[in-house]
Every structure is written in structure tokens, then in C-alpha cells.
Structure 1
Amino acid sequence: MRIDAVVLLLVVLLLVGCDQSAPEQKGFAGMGDQALAFTPVVPGRVFSFPADHGAHAGFRIEWWYVTANLKDQQGNQFGVQWTLFRSALKPVAEQAGWANQTIWLGHAAVTSAGVHHAAERYARGGIGQAGVRVALFEAWIDDWRFASEAPDPLSDLQLSARDKDFAYQLHLTSSRPLVLQGDNGFSRKSAEGQASYYYSQPFFQASGTLQIDGQSYTVSGPAWLDREWSSQPLSANQTGWDWLSLHLDSGEKVMLFRTRQKDGVPYLTGTWIAADGQTQTLRSEQITLTPQDTATVAGRSMPVKWSISIPDKHFDIQLNALNPNAWMNLRIPYWEGPVRITGSHPGQGYLEMTGY
């Protein structure tokens, strides 16, 4: 959930050599723009794996998104993010060479209590610089890789990225089933009907090495994969979102998001994931999600401390950013970083905030 349409459009125009003028942006990142020629997201999709780990022609946007909450042997905490976005210019199948109508975008970041580094990559589809393949699963852009040689591709993967200030090489494993978010993978994003297809693997365990500013760390901890694709995931009235993935010490997992609106109350929903992988969709009336404290980050007031209550689950917690300055200072800016959880269900997780 993360694209600034104006910037992305400029990059797209540059890459395709087009001189069209930019349309008026609607909602955050242009995700509220109508996409009538693209395939709509409707209830009742039957997911098929491993095919759905790959790209989905006909849909306008999708992403492969990994976060990890890590510790070294001394207990120091870190966060890692790896994301690959696919953005289609036209609702057609992938074509070879410069006839390809797909733009790829990669984001990678590392965060500690005192440091946050982020990097980005752009690529044109069709020339081998970026893409996703299902057989011997691999998602890549330049030398950033999320790849597996296992028959079940999401059981054993390697994750890597590097930039001038950081690098990481992680091994991700899980024997747990995937989680379909929302209504069997149909994830509503607004009361008007905008939605995405959305599944997760929240049960990854990660281990490997992390380098920050020339210092190397051996790290391990839980990781979370999100997969979403859509053609219009927001309404024109929605300005951005706050998204949370939580790893609780009890073994349970929680996904929450709210999409903020220009007018009216935010749209709020989530998923409670039991330690055995069973899920329960959380409705807005079951959740209280309240910003508690803010920090000035990149000239913006960002809520970096939250309280969350889910009375049906006897869940009453506080979230604090590990590093309040986890600003993704890229061409497409947003806040993304690890959080610490205290209260009834201690743990750790990740917070993303866009549109501020």
C-alpha cells in the first residue's frame, strides 16, 4: 500500500518516452483514480497456489512486501523492509522488450533505534531488469532478490538487498499455511466497495546478517509477507492509510488497517490470526485504534505512539515506534518502521503510514 501517483507518473513518462500531461491526482497516490479498463476486484475469487505468487495481468497494481523484526545476540532491535511493486500502464499481458507496458519499483530499508536507511530502484518491464516468476519462485529488481528453490516456494526463501549505507541477507522459513485476509482474500478498503485481493504469510522466521554503516550484525526474528493486487484499491475521498502487522509473544498475529478520508470517519478493519493459523475478520466496531503521541518527521506531524483495544479478545496494548524518524525519504515518501508492543499482549510489529 504505497505509491505517490504524481512521482510515479513522471517516472513512467520518462521510461516510456511519453509526453502526455499528468492527470489530476485523486486520493492518495492516485489509487482512487478510476481504472475501468482494468480487471475489477470482486468477491468469490478462488486462489490458486503457487500461481498467485506470480504477477496478475489485467490488474493495475500489486506488490510483494516483506517486513522483519530482528534482534542480534546482544538484544539490539532492528527492522528490515523489502518491497517490489508492479504497476501496469495498460491492462494487457506481459510483452517482451520495449513493448512491455509494466513499470517495476523496489523499496528496501533497515531501521535501528538510532538509524534509518532507505533505498529505491525503478525498472522497465520486459528487459529482464525486474520481474516475478513462479517456477523456482523469484521476485527481483536489479540485484535485490526474494527467491526460493523449494517445491513450496513460501516454505524456504532467501531475501537480500543492498545500498551504499546498508545490506541484508536473510533466510526465511515457514511450515504454516497462508492467511487469506478479509473475506477469503477479498479485502475491502472502503465503504464504497474498493478492494484488493490480499493474502499473507505472517509466520516466517528469519535469520541472517545485517550491515548498517559498515557494522555487521547476526540477527533473527519473525517476518511477515503481504501480497496484494488490485485495480482501484482506494476511493477518491481517501487520503492515505495506517497499516499494522503485529507478532504477539503468545504466537498470535494481528493485521489492522484504517484508510483515512477527506470527509467522514476512517474505514477500519483487520484480521485476528490465532497461533494455529485460524483467522477471524475484525470489524470496525470491534476495534479502537487511537493515536497517542506525535513526532515531527520530515516536517510532518506523524503519530508514532498508538493505543489499540479489541475488547472481544481482551486486547489492550500500546505501540511505540522503535525509531520515530523511520521516514522513507525517497521519491515516493512515507513512514515505515518497526514498533514495540506493551500491555495485555506484548510483542513487536511493523507500522506503515501514508498520506500525511
Structure 2
Amino acid sequence: MRKTTVGAAAIASALIASLTLASGGPATATTAADSTAAHRTASAKGLTQTGLPVLVDPVAGLTYDPDQANQSWYVTAHVTAGGHRYGFLAHYLNSGFGKQGGAVSRVSIVNEDTGWYTKSEIALPPATGLSDKQGVDIHTDNITWTGDSKEMKLRAKVPEGTIDVTFRPRGSTLYNMGTGYFPMFGDAQYSNYEYALPTVDTSGTLTLGGRAEKVRGQSWVDRQWGPLPDISTGRASWSWMNLNLSNGDKISVWNQKYDGKKTDFATILKPDGTQTVAEATLAPDESTLWTSPTTGKSYPTRWKVTIPGEQAKLNVTVYAKNQELTVPGPGYEGSAAVTGTYDHRPVTGNTYIELTNGQ
């Protein structure tokens, strides 16, 4: 499988210049499952009309590409089972970091009512458990994830039990930066591609301590690939959220830092399939730091997300503080609740917050 990269750096430079939005108005594009982009605005709010080219294929893009050193298959879910709300994560990362590189297969589950948390993390040689079979085809000791953009099966293991679910994506694809392409840290040498299937009906079974419960809920499947710097040096870090809001909007929010330089933006998928790329701020509440007894790293447990173009002021609070992952290095993948206002109206929701390098 090959990805379209011709002119990507030039497109990104133009996009960043136009989407920095000195005038405060976001750019929009409408996208559909067949990877086409229409030329219309998101609403009657005076948003800038654009026709951004879509640079990824959400069907073919699920397949492992051996030519890409850094690749990620990531799914988070918010479901109900046995009268409780749960969040779960399954993540396979094939990384080119360091001299040899490697892979990691990670699973976590949190009871969003009680704060109970468990995880499984496995370090692997590069590309272990991957194949170039069309679609997702991942097989490790704690993740078996197969299927395509119409239906996927996931079996994920933690010490206390298993998650066995079927994913059925529906609705529109979210293309980060409106095209599926963006330079991490605003630097074209780190050309990354990312898209999401943010509306995925999820059903199956959660088995913990020998007790099986039916699962129902929603998942967000995220796919990303492209070169990255070695974040273990401490020069680069990021915060990321995948917001699922009660008004139907799905939002990917990035806060990227490299040698003190910040790059922030949000990609918003509207219920009608229209996408908006907008300025955003993801600000941690430093008074809520939780320090890991395992690694000594500190992580915020509350944030404020603002998106001026949407009149959005959102509060994000984790369901449990101890959602740290330590393989390949300390980081945070935390299920969290969202409250606040959006377009001057009350809104609720949920998300996962991904943090690298702690504080």
C-alpha cells in the first residue's frame, strides 16, 4: 500500500498559513467515506468556504504499510456493561524511535463509575503481529484486531479478563487538518497522516473476574502514520483529545510542543459531515496534578479546552487519576468526562486524553 504524498509539504504550509486564522474564522470542508471533498461551508455562521483535498483513503489506510516506520492503530471506547460505565483502550504502535525501534501492544480498562483501572502492556520487536493483509490485521498476546472499515473484531486481554467486541463504523470520516495530513510540530520533516472513524457502534462482551457482561456503546478508531522525533529526549511532547459531544460534534484536538514552539489546532466533524479546522487551546489545570508512584511523572487530571470559532469552553476531568502507561515510556491515556458550553449552549460528552512526557 502506498500513500499519496505529492506536494504534501507545500499543501501543509499553505494550510497552516491559512488555518492559523488571524481573522479568527475557521476553514471548513465537507468529506465523505469515498474520500472526496465538497466545496461548501459548514453552516450559516460565515465560515470560510474552502475545498481542501483529502490526502488519505480511510479504507486502504487501515492496512499496515511496511514502508512507514511509525504507525499507530488506536481505539478508545465508552460503553456500558453490567450496570456500569467503562472506558477501554486498545493501541498498537510500531515505532522507529531509537537505534532499533520496536512495537508496543497496550490495553486498558477503567470503570468510569468507581475509578477501578487495569492495563496490559507488551513491548515487542518491530512489526511483530502485523501483516499486510487488507484492513486491520493485528495479532499479539493481548490484542487480536481484524476487519475493515465496515466491520472489525477486537479481542483484548488484561490480567482480570477480556474484551470481545464488534466494531461497526458509520457516518463520516474525520480527516485531521481537513485533509488527513499535517506536519507534527509545524515541521514538514515530520509529515504525518491521521484520520478517524469517530462514530463506531460497539457491542459484545466484557469479562472480568470470570463474570461476563454484555457491552453496548460507542468507539473512536484512530489511524496515524509518519515520522516523529525521539520524544524520549524531552524536546518534543504533545497532548491530544478525541472529544465526543452531546451535540453530535466529534473533535480531534492537538497541542504539540517542540523546543518550546507550540502548534495547536482542532479538527471538528459536524453531524452533517462538514469538517471545520479551527484554533484551539488545551490548557491543563496545574493545581490538579497527579504524581505516579511508579515513575514519578506528574500529569494534570483536569483541562480547559477552548475553541473560539465555535464559542466552545469545555472542562475535561478524568474518571480516574491512575491511568498512566509506562511502555515504551511514561505517558498517559485517560478516559475523561466533558462538560461546558458550545455555541453558547450547555454540552456534555467524553474523551480520552493522551499525554507524552508527563509534565
Q: TM-score range by the shorter chain?
A: 0.7 to 0.9
Aligned equivalents of 1:229, 1:114: Cα separation in 2: 32
- Partner secondary structure for residue 190 of structure 1: helix
Aligned equivalents of 1:313, 1:49: Cα separation in 2: 27
Q: Specify the code of the residue in structure 1 equivalent to 2:75.
A: V
Aligned to 1:161: 156
Aligned to 1:186: 181
Aligned to 1:81: 89
Aligned equivalents of 2:306, 2:66: Cα separation in 1: 39
Question: Does the Cα contact within 8 Å between 1:210 and 1:219 map onto a contact in 2?
Answer: yes
Per-residue deviation, 1:213: 4.2
Aligned to 2:304: 307
Aligned equivalents of 1:109, 1:40: Cα separation in 2: 38
Structure 2 counterpart of 1:71, from 60, 66, 80: 80
1:58 maps onto 2:67 in alignment: yes
Per-residue deviation, 1:82: 0.7
Aligned equivalents of 1:88, 1:262: Cα separation in 2: 20
Structure 1 segment 100-249 matched on structure 2, within 5 A: 103-112=102-111, 113-124=114-125, 130-135=129-134, 137-142=136-141, 144-148=143-147, 153-193=148-188, 194-232=190-228, 238-249=235-246
1:267 maps onto 2:267 in alignment: no
Deviates more, 1:325-334 or 1:134-143: 134-143
Q: What CA RMSD, in Å, does the superposition of the two structures yield over aligned residues?
A: 2.9
- Partner secondary structure for residue 130 of structure 2: strand
Q: Structure 1 residues 233 and 175, CA, compared in 2 at 3 Å: closer, same or farther?
A: farther
Aligned equivalents of 2:354, 2:271: Cα separation in 1: 23
Aligned equivalents of 1:327, 1:168: Cα separation in 2: 20
Aligned to 1:35: none
Q: Structure 1 residues 205 and 215, CA, compared in 2 at 3 Å: closer, same or farther?
A: same
Per-residue deviation, 1:256: 0.5
Query: After superposition, what is the alpha-carbon deviation per residue over 1:87-137, rounded to whole angstroms, capped at 9, x for unaligned?
Result: 3599xxxxxxxxxx98442111111232221112344468xx511344364
Aligned to 1:351: 353
Aligned equivalents of 1:62, 1:173: Cα separation in 2: 22
Query: After superposition, what is the alpha-carbon deviation per residue over 1:11-65, rounded to whole angstroms, capped at 9, x for unaligned?
Result: xxxxxxxxxxxxxxxxxxxxxxxxxxxx997466843453322122332211111
Q: Specify the code of the residue in structure 2 equivalent to 1:197.
A: Y
Aligned equivalents of 2:126, 2:304: Cα separation in 1: 42
Question: Does the Cα contact within 8 Å between 1:288 and 1:308 map onto a contact in 2?
Answer: yes
Q: Structure 1 residues 279 and 238, CA, compared in 2 at 3 Å: closer, same or farther?
A: farther
Q: Percent identity?
A: 20
Aligned equivalents of 2:133, 2:7: Cα separation in 1: 23
Per-residue deviation, 1:274: 0.5
Aligned to 1:295: 290
Question: Does the Cα contact within 8 Å between 2:63 and 2:134 map onto a contact in 1?
Answer: no
Question: Does the Cα contact within 8 Å between 2:297 and 2:330 map onto a contact in 1?
Answer: no
Per-residue deviation, 1:271: 0.5
Aligned equivalents of 2:197, 2:289: Cα separation in 1: 30
Question: Does the Cα contact within 8 Å between 2:92 and 2:103 map onto a contact in 1?
Answer: yes
Query: After superposition, what is the alpha-carbon deviation per residue over 1:205-225, rounded to whole angstroms, capped at 9, x for unaligned?
Result: 212222334444322222111
Q: Specify the code of the residue in structure 2 equivalent to 1:117.
A: T
Per-residue deviation, 1:354: 1.1
Q: Specify the code of the residue in structure 1 equivalent to 2:245.
A: L
Q: Specify the code of the residue in structure 1 equivalent to 2:284.
A: P
Aligned residues: 297
> For structure 1, which runs of at least 5 residues remain unmatched after alignment?
1-38, 91-100
- Partner secondary structure for residue 61 of structure 2: helix
Query: How high is the TM-score relative to the length of structure 2?
Result: 0.74
Per-residue deviation, 1:331: 4.6
- Partner secondary structure for residue 309 of structure 2: helix
Query: After superposition, what is the alpha-carbon deviation per residue over 1:155-209, rounded to whole angstroms, capped at 9, x for unaligned?
Result: 2111111132231111111232322211411122213333301111111121222
Per-residue deviation, 1:304: 0.7
Aligned equivalents of 1:225, 1:78: Cα separation in 2: 17
Q: Structure 1 residues 132 and 203, CA, compared in 2 at 3 Å: closer, same or farther?
A: farther
Q: Structure 1 residues 301 and 49, CA, compared in 2 at 3 Å: closer, same or farther?
A: closer
Aligned equivalents of 1:147, 1:169: Cα separation in 2: 12
Aligned equivalents of 2:7, 2:142: Cα separation in 1: 33
Q: Specify the code of the residue in structure 2 equivalent to 1:256.
A: V
Aligned to 2:47: none
Per-residue deviation, 1:318: 0.6
Aligned equivalents of 1:59, 1:282: Cα separation in 2: 28
Question: Does the Cα contact within 8 Å between 1:41 and 1:197 map onto a contact in 2?
Answer: no
- Partner secondary structure for residue 346 of structure 1: strand
Q: Specify the code of the residue in structure 2 equivalent to 1:145.
A: T
> For structure 2, which runs of at least 5 residues remain unmatched after alignment?
1-5, 12-53, 342-346
- Partner secondary structure for residue 130 of structure 1: coil
Query: How high is the TM-score relative to the length of structure 1?
Result: 0.75
Q: Structure 1 residues 327 and 304, CA, compared in 2 at 3 Å: closer, same or farther?
A: same
- Partner secondary structure for residue 155 of structure 2: strand
